[in-house]
């Protein structure tokens, strides 16, 4: 084992960010004997509720970031919009894994797509757009329909607009904030899948089985694994996910989201350099969850086995579930094979991710039906 990369149990791991991904990472880390410190501008957060130490400070307070990192053996992050200067300041005091360069590439769509193109990775055709005039020219070249996406700070459908005809260009430009964007050709895809993969600091890699993903209001709704795509696409998606990890030099977990075209091709839609919503089912369905895998990767431990115990499905629980009162937790938990995960968020709001349900089944479809049954049961009064 490379002692330079190894961070043993009992050490302090720092997490930049304090949402549900950090919470599930912290639970995995504490089970393996690590201490966790979290850093964010908020208090009583999903991560802070289970961490050893919750540091509340602005990401722009670089002195506070340095002090925070100085109390740790390694720093990781739980969302990709951590400012680059924050990651750089942390790196002055402790290793940051994945490195800030990975954040720099993946937190901005133009840089991310340029990375994909430069490395010959399959991606959706696109053009860079920095003005309304460039948008009109790009539409003339790519045609319609097309999708306009802001270059920065877009997730869960935010910062993007579909353009069905050139007449909609001006309203779309205003909708995404009249800022630096990418215009993507519209893909008439057969389905969306994702592959969560991990790479250790020594270069070893593992990939989880692909998940079939469905969305509602541009937010992930249900994930089912393993995907029912062909064996060829299973292999190709894993190969591409590994290539992304290696070319980016990731030490940690990264999710590659794909469109599967109707003629059987894979096109990368987005990269997420962290555990992913579609990988939450690995907590209950796999020998090693994506969160334990992140810990192993950033601490220089051997990566864990990714075998699935049974097919599984995950359904998100949004704040909408609370609109008519407290959900019926007992009814959902009474269904065999269903697991409840709540994130400790203090206020339920429409569209806010509050938790998820996981169901295991004999087949992927059986798991999907079970998790949807359980989510429906939450609304029974």
* pLDDT, tens digit (0-9, with 9 covering 90-100), for 261-298: 999 999 999 999 999 999 999 999 999 999 999 999 99
Instruction: Report d(CA 57, CA 59) in Å as an integer.
Output: 7
CA distance 18 to 208: 25
Hey, what domains does the chain have and what are their CATH numbers? 12-96 (3.40.50.20), 125-185 (3.30.1490.20), 189-377 (3.30.470.20)
- What tens digit of pLDDT does each residue of 299-312 get? 999 999 999 999 99
* Most confident range, picked from 3-12, 145-154, 237-246: 237-246
| Averaged pLDDT for residues 84-97 | 97
Torsion of the alpha carbons at 32, 246, 124 and 179, rounded to the nearest 10: 70
Interval 245-250 mean pLDDT: 97
Entry pTM:
0.95
Compute the half-sphere exposure of residue 328: CA atoms within 13 Å on the CB side of its CA.
13
- Which residues partner with 230 through β-bridges? none
Say how far apart CA 164 and CA 60 lie, in whole Å. 40
178, two tokens:
């009249």
Name residue, tokens 């995907």.
227
Q: Which residue, 258, 260, 262, is CA-closest to 241? A: 258
Task: State how far the Cα of 165 lies from the Cα of 192, in Å rounded to an integer.
Answer: 24
| Phi/psi of residue 246, nearest 5 degrees | -70, -45
The edge-to-edge listing of strands for the beta sheet with 146-150 is 126-129, 181-185, 146-150, 160-163
Please state, in angstroms and as integers, the Cα–Cα distance from residue 278 to each residue in 16, 273, 281, 355, following that order: 21, 13, 7, 13
Cβ-Cβ contacts under 8 Å for 174 (sequence gap 6 or more): none
pLDDT at residue number 154: 59
- How many separate helices (H) and strands (E) can be counted in the chain? 12, 17
Report angle CA 67, 251, 60 to the nearest 5 degrees. 30
Pairwise CA distance, residues 311 & 368, whole Å: 9
Q: Give kind and range of the element (H or E) at residue 266.
A: strand 266-272
Give residue for tokens 């991310």: 112
């Amino acid at each position: 084992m490379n002692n330079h990369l190894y961070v043993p149990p009992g050490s302090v791991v720092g997490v930049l960010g304090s949402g549900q991904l950090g919470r599930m990472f912290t639970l995995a880390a504490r089970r393996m004997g690590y201490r966790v410190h979290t850093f964010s501008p908020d208090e009583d957060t999903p991560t802070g509720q289970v961490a050893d130490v919750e540091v509340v400070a602005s990401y722009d307070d670089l002195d506070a970031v340095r002090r925070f990192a100085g109390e740790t053996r390694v720093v990781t992050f739980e969302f990709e919009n951590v400012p680059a200067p924050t990651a750089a300041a942390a790196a002055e005091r402790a290793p940051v894994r994945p490195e800030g360069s990975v954040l720099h590439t993946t937190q901005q769509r133009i840089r991310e797509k340029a990375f994909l193109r430069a490395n010959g990775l399959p991606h959706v055709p696109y053009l860079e757009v920095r003005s309304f005039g460039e948008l009109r020219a790009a539409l003339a070249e790519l045609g319609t329909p097309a999708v306009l996406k802001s270059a920065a700070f877009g997730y869960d459908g935010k910062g993007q607009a579909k353009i069905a005809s050139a007449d909609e260009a001006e309203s779309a430009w205003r909708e995404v904030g009249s800022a630096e964007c990418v215009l993507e050709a519209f893909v008439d895809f057969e389905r969306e899948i994702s592959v969560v993969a991990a790479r250790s600091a020594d270069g070893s890699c593992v990939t989880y089985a692909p998940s079939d993903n469905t969305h509602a209001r541009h937010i992930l709704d249900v994930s089912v694994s393993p995907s029912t795509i062909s064996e060829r696409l299973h292999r190709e998606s894993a190969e591409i996910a590994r290539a992304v990890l290696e070319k980016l030099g990731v030490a940690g977990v990264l999710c590659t989201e794909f469109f599967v075209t109707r003629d059987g091709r894979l096109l990368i839609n987005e990269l997420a350099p962290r555990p992913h919503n579609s990988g939450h089912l690995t907590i209950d369905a796999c020998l090693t969850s994506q969160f334990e895998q992140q810990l192993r990767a950033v601490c220089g431990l051997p990566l864990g086995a990714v075998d699935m115990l049974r097919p599984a499905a995950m359904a998100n629980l949004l704040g909408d579930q609370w609109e008519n009162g407290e959900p019926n937790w007992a009814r959902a938990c009474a269904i065999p094979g269903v697991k409840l995960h709540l994130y400790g968020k203090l206020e339920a709001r429409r569209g806010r991710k509050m938790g998820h349900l996981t169901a295991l089944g004999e087949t992927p479809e059986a798991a999907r039906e079970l998790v949807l049954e359980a989510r429906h049961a939450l609304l029974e009064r």
